[in-house]
Structure 1
Amino acid sequence: MYAYNKSYIIRMAFISALGGYLFGFDFAVIAGALPFLADQFALNEYWEGFLTASLALGCIAGCLFAGAFSDKVGRKKALMAAAFIFLVSSLAMGFSTGRDVFIFARFVAGVGVGMASVLSPMYIAEISPASMRGQMVSINQLTVTIGIFITSLVNYALRDAGDDAWRWMVGLGAVPSFLFLIGVIWLPESPRWLVTKKREKDAAIILHKIGGELYAVKSVSSIQDTLQGEDTKKVSFKEVFSRAALPAIIIGMGLAVFQQWSGANAIFNYGAKIFESIGFSLGAQLKQLVIINAVNLIFTLIAMWQVDKLGRKPLMLFGALGLCVSYIISAILLQQGLSVAVWPLLAAIAIYAMTLAPVTWVVISEIFPNKVRGKATSIAVVALWMAYAVLVFTFPILVEKTGTYTPFYIYAGICLLGFIFVKLRVKETKGKTLEELENVMTRH
C-alpha cells in the first residue's frame, strides 16, 4: 500500500541499534576478562558475582532515568547521552587502579548500557512501519550478538597479552561508543515523540521520508487519535500502572524476567568457568566462547528472518520448551564431567538466539500505550536488568556450593513455567501498528 524507503529505515535502525552493540561488548568482555580480573583482584565467588552484576545495577539506574529523560528531551538526545556515558566509563575501566574503581566504572558503563537498552528498541519501533517493525527491532538484538561475537574474538586474540590483557579488553569499548555517538547525530527525532510535543509538521516530514505523503498523513492522524484528550507532558508512574496499561506492564515485566532467568546469559558470562569444570584450558575456554558467540550470531540472523513470518508467540513457546530440554541434557552431562556437555549448551544458545533473545525486545517495544511508552518501557527493562543481576550474581555461588550442573536444572524448571506464562498471557503482535496494539492491550 505504501512505498516505504527501506534503505532509509534500515540505516536509522542500524545506527540506533549500535546501542545494542555496546550492550553486547560489555556483556561479552567480562567473560574474557574475568579470569584475569579474578587473579588481579583476588576475587572469590561472591566478588566475581558482584563484579559481573555491577553492570546490571548500573543498567537499572540507566533504565529508570532513560524513559523520563527521553520523554523530556527526545529519543535522539537521550541516545547521545548514553553513548557519551559509555565512552567515558570504558576508558575509566581500562585505567582502573583497583577492584573498587573497576566495579564503579563498570556500574557507570551499565548506566549507559541501560539507557541504550531502553531507547534503541523504542526508537526503532517508533520509526518502523508495522510490516517491518519485527525485523527492524531485531536489528538491535543483531548488533548485541555482533558485539558479543567481535568482543569474544578480541578477548581470544588478547589471551597471551599478559596480566594487563583485561585493560585492553575493557578499554577498547571506547571505540564503538564513539562511533555510536557520531552516528546518532545523523538520526532524525522519533516522529511519535514529536507528535506528543505538538510538532506535527516536523513529524510529518520524517514520516513522509519513511513512507510517502499518504503514510505520513495517516500516521500522524493515528498517533493523534491515541493521544486525544491526554496530557502527554507529564506522565506519572501511577498512570503507567493504571487499569488500562497494567495488562501490558505485567506481560512486559514477565517476559523480561523470563528472558533472563531462562539461563542463557549464565553461559555467556560464565562460559569459561563452565568449561573449566570439564577440563578445558584457558585458551580452550576462550575459544569455546568464540564458537558459542558465533552460533549466537548465526541464529539471531535466522530470528530476524522469521520474526515477522512465524510471529512472536510461536517463537517464544518453542524457545521455552527447547531450552528446558537442552538444559536437562546439559545438566546430566555436566554432572558426569563429560566434555560433550558443550553440544547441548550450544543448542541452548542457538534456541535462545532465535527465540527469547530477540523476540522479548520486540514485544517490549510494541505493547505499551503511546502516552506511557517511555516510562513503561523503562519499567520492563528495569525488571530485565534486575533479573539479570540476580542471575549472574547467584550463578558462581550456586556452582561453588552445589556444582556446575545444578543451576541448569533450575533454569529448566523456569523455562517450563515461562512456557505456561507465554501460552496463557501473551497475545500475538505481528503485523499490527503500535496504535492498533494499544487498543488490543487495553482490552486484555
Structure 2
Amino acid sequence: MHDNKEEESHVEKTFPVTRATYAYALGAALNSCNLGYDIGVSTNAGPLIATDFQLTSLQLELFLGSLNFWTIFGALSSPCMTDRYGRTTTFVMAAMGFLVGIAVMIVSSSFESLMVGRMIVGVAVGVGEAVDPMYIAEISPKHVRGRLVSWAEAGVALGVVLGFSSSLVFYAVENVATKWRCMVGAGMILPIIMVLMVAFGFLPESPQWLISQNQESAARVVLERIYPSDAIDDVVDDIQSSIELERQSSNAVGWNAIFAPSPAVKRMLMVGIGMATIQQAVGIDAVMFYLMFVIKGSGIATELGEVAALMVLGLVKLVFVFVGANLFDRVGRRPLLFVSLCGMAAALSIVSITFLFQSRVSEACTVLGLALYLAFFSIGVGPGNWVVVSEIFATSIRAKGMCVAVLPNRIMATLMASSFLSLAQWLTWPGFFFVLAIICLASAWFLWSYLPETKDKSLEEMSMYFAALTGDRSILDTEDRLHHGQPPCDESSVELPGWHEENRPVMT
C-alpha cells in the first residue's frame, strides 16, 4: 500500500508541460469548434433558411431543436466507438458525419432533406461532445488536466464566435438561398482540417486506448512526448490500474442498481440528473439558437447592428469560459454554481424588463442583459455541469450514472429549443425571460439544498456522504468489494453541508 502511494505521488509531481501536450489538446479542442460553429451559424442561418423554404415557426423550431435530439444517439454510441476503434478514429468518424450532414443540407431542396442533413450533423455533434474531453484528459498530465480539458469548452465558445461571424463574412451576398448555404458550407473547413490532422499523424492515439489494446510500446512512444522519461513507467502502471478498475466497476453492478436503486444511489441519481437537467432548463442552447430573433425583438433593426450584437455576445461567452475554468477549482462548486444561477436570474430579469420599452437605451440594456446571462452561465453552470456530475456517482455506478444523466440533459435541450418561439409568442418576450429567471432561481434552490461540495473530495468520500445522509450502507459494501476488500473509511467523519453535530445522520 505504501508503494502505491509513492508511485501515485511520483506520477503527480509537477513538471513543465511539453509543446506536444499543448498541441494535442489544441487539436482536440479544434473538433469542439465544429460543435460551436454549428450553434453559431444556426443562429444566423436559421432566419434565412426559414425565409428560403418558407418555414412555419413550428418547422423552424423542429429544424433547430432536432439537433439536440439526435445528439442523444451520438453520445450513447460514442463509448462503443471510442473503445472499439480508438479516440482518433472516432474523431475522423465524427468529422465525416459533419461533412456528410452539411453537404446534405446545402444541396437540400425540401424541408425533409434539410432535416436528414440536420440529423446526421446532430449524431456527429453527440459523438464529438463525448470524445473531445476524453481524449484531452487521457493525453494530459494530472497537474494540468483540468485546465486543458476546459479547452474543449473554450473550443465550443470559439466555434460559436466563428459561426456568428459567418454572416459578416458573407454580408455582401444578397441572395438568401446562396447566403445561408455559404454560411453553413463554411462549416466543412474545420472537419476537413480535423481529418487531415489525424491522417498525417498530428494527433496520436490516446495512450490509454493503446494500453487497453495491448499496444504498450506504441503508448510509450506517445507518453515520451508528454512526460519526463523517469515518470513513464509509473504512468503506464497508473493507466493499467485505472483500466483494470474500470473493468471491475463495469462488472461490479448491473443496470438494476440504476433502475431499482438503493436509497444512497437514488440520492446520487437525483442530484446528478438534477444537475444535468438544470444546465439546459435555464435555456442556454435555446437562447443561443434564437439570439437573432431576440436581438430583432429588442428593436435592433439593421443587419450590421444585429451582427455586431452577436459578435459582442459571442466574445463575452468565450472570455468568461476561461474565467470560469480558473475559478471553478479555486472557489468551489457550490458557491460558484449558486452565484452563476442567481446572476443568470438577475440578467434575465434585466432582459425581461427592457423588452417592455422600445428605445436606444433598451436595445443596449437588452444586449447587456444577454451578455451578463452568458457570462454568468460560463463561470458556473456551463463548465461545472459535467464536472459535478462526474464527481457525484460512486465508482461502481459512475459510467452508468453518467450515461443516464446525458439523456435528460439532451431531452431538456431538445424541448427548450423546439418550443422557444412558440413559448415566446404565448408568454411574450418579457414573460418568457421572466419565466427563465424563475427557473434559474428554482435551480439555485435545488442545488443549494441537495448538492454537496465536491471540490477536493474523492469518489469514496462522496459515497460515504450519501451513505451517511440516507442511512444506506449498501453502496459502501459494493465499493468495498470493488476495491479488493479494502475497508472503507469511517463514514462518521464525513462532514455534511448544512448538518450540525446534533442532527448528523447516523449509520445503522
TM-score by length of 1: 0.88
| 197-206 or 278-287: bigger deviation | 197-206
Matched with 2:205 is 189
Q: Which residue, out of 340, 345, 351, partners 2:370?
A: 345
Residue 6 (structure 1) shift: 4.3
Higher RCO (CA-CA < 8 Å; seq separation 6+) = 1
Q: Which residue, out of 175, 200, 205, partners 2:189?
A: 175
Q: Which residue, out of 339, 343, 354, partners 1:318?
A: 339
Aligned with 2:204: secondary structure?
A: coil
After superposition, the C-alpha distances for 1:320-376 in whole angstroms (9 at most, x for unaligned) are 111011112221221334322221121111111222222224445665667766655
Partners of 1:364 and 1:136 in 2: CA distance? 19
Would you say the 8 A contact 1:263–1:408 is kept in 2? no
| 332-341 or 55-64: bigger deviation | 332-341
Partners of 1:68 and 1:136 in 2: CA distance? 24
Q: Which residue, out of 64, 79, 85, partners 1:67?
A: 79
1:216 maps onto 2:241 in alignment: no
Would you say the 8 A contact 2:343–2:373 is kept in 1? yes
Aligned with 2:67: secondary structure?
A: helix
Q: Structure 1 residues 296 and 42 mapped into 2: Cα distance closer, same or farther (>3 Å)?
A: same
Residue 149 (structure 1) shift: 0.4
2:356 maps to amino acid: Q
**Structure-to-structure mapping, 1:224-303, within 5 angstroms:** 226-227=245-246, 229=248, 237-238=255-256, 249-283=269-303, 284-303=305-324
Q: Structure 1 residues 425 and 179 mapped into 2: Cα distance closer, same or farther (>3 Å)?
A: farther
Would you say the 8 A contact 1:67–1:375 is kept in 2? no
Would you say the 8 A contact 2:393–2:463 is kept in 1? no
Residue 5 (structure 1) shift: 3.3
Matched with 1:409 is 434
Partners of 1:246 and 1:361 in 2: CA distance? 18
Partners of 1:413 and 1:11 in 2: CA distance? 42
Residue 3 (structure 1) shift: 2.5
After superposition, the C-alpha distances for 1:4-38 in whole angstroms (9 at most, x for unaligned) are 53433322222222232111011111110112111
Partners of 1:304 and 1:202 in 2: CA distance? 32
Aligned with 2:298: secondary structure?
A: coil
Partners of 1:387 and 1:21 in 2: CA distance? 23
Residue 257 (structure 1) shift: 1.6
Would you say the 8 A contact 2:342–2:441 is kept in 1? yes
Q: Structure 1 residues 67 and 335 mapped into 2: Cα distance closer, same or farther (>3 Å)?
A: farther
Partners of 2:423 and 2:111 in 1: CA distance? 23
Aligned with 2:330: secondary structure?
A: coil
Q: Structure 1 residues 113 and 249 mapped into 2: Cα distance closer, same or farther (>3 Å)?
A: farther
| 286-295 or 104-113: bigger deviation | 286-295
1:85 maps onto 2:93 in alignment: no
Residue 231 (structure 1) shift: 6.1
1:220 maps to amino acid: I
- What is the RMSD computed on CA atoms of the aligned residues? 2.9
**Structure-to-structure mapping, 1:293-442, within 5 angstroms:** 293-337=314-358, 338-339=362-363, 340-364=365-389, 376-430=401-455, 436-437=458-459, 439-442=460-463
After superposition, the C-alpha distances for 1:169-223 in whole angstroms (9 at most, x for unaligned) are 1111111111122334533333444555566665565455433236415523641
Q: Structure 1 residues 112 and 309 mapped into 2: Cα distance closer, same or farther (>3 Å)?
A: same
Q: Structure 1 residues 365 and 25 mapped into 2: Cα distance closer, same or farther (>3 Å)?
A: farther
Q: Structure 1 residues 131 and 246 mapped into 2: Cα distance closer, same or farther (>3 Å)?
A: farther
TM-score by length of 2: 0.78
> Which segments of 5 or more consecutive residues in structure 2 lack a partner in the other structure?
1-12, 467-508
Residue 143 (structure 1) shift: 0.5
| 141-150 or 190-199: bigger deviation | 190-199
